[in-house]
Amino acid sequence: MKNLFSVEGKVALVTGGSRGIGLMIARGFVENGARVYVASRKAEDCAKVAQELSAYGDCHGIAADLSTQAGAAKLAAEVGKHTSKLDVLVNNAGANWGAPMAEYPDAAWDKVLALNVKGVFHLTIACLPLLEKSASHADPARVINIGSIDGIQVPMLETYAYSASKAAVHHMTRVLAMQLAGKRITVNAVAPGPFESKMMAATLDRFKDAIVASCPLGRIGEPEDMAGIAIYLASRAGAYVTGAVIPVDGGISTR
């Protein structure tokens, strides 16, 4: 039981891992003994984060554009050059777009759905060979998709494509969980509430007091909250959980 929440020695890929929620998860994995590959669009951001986290453990950066199927395949191939297996895939890379309904552009749907939904699907499929090499009956490989409570409840702002995309991620998580269970791969989603991140910065600047007031636990999320749920799902403690969508929001989505 003392190793129930251990991720030591596991190999993880975290997309969108250079900032925000992805960085919180990557740091949690690295500091607890996992080897982590951090992916994001900008090579300099990847290199900076890899250097920073390498002070605490084993971390490497890989630049990748996951808005296309070719980009997903390229990232999986690059990871495969460095490791023969992948224990954990965290699909965190995402985009947002807010605008009034009457002005909401078609380009927003194309950009947001391409990365938030198609990107998750394409990278998961591209990484299957590496995940299958890690998977076993006792210790399945893990896919952790980052959704949002905006995919559970109506969001505060007019982010039509984003909230729809996250609801799609939640349901795709259940579908993939059923499809991949036979390969000994679990697929779960985390639905974060408010956390400090670039994507949330404008919202927190305008509405932080109201958000905190609406939260039953009376605060926004801390990095340890996000690292903790990812470590749980990636460790032996989460080995029998698949197809779940877990809100990490201080209770906001219960209202």
Q: Which amino acid is at 123?
A: L
Q: Is the dihedral of CA 143, 36, 56, 43 positive or negative?
A: negative
Q: Which of 37, 160, 162, 232 is catalytic?
A: 162
Any idea which residue has 């920073």 for tokens?
Answer: 52
Q: Give yes or no: 104 in active site.
A: no
Active site residues: 162
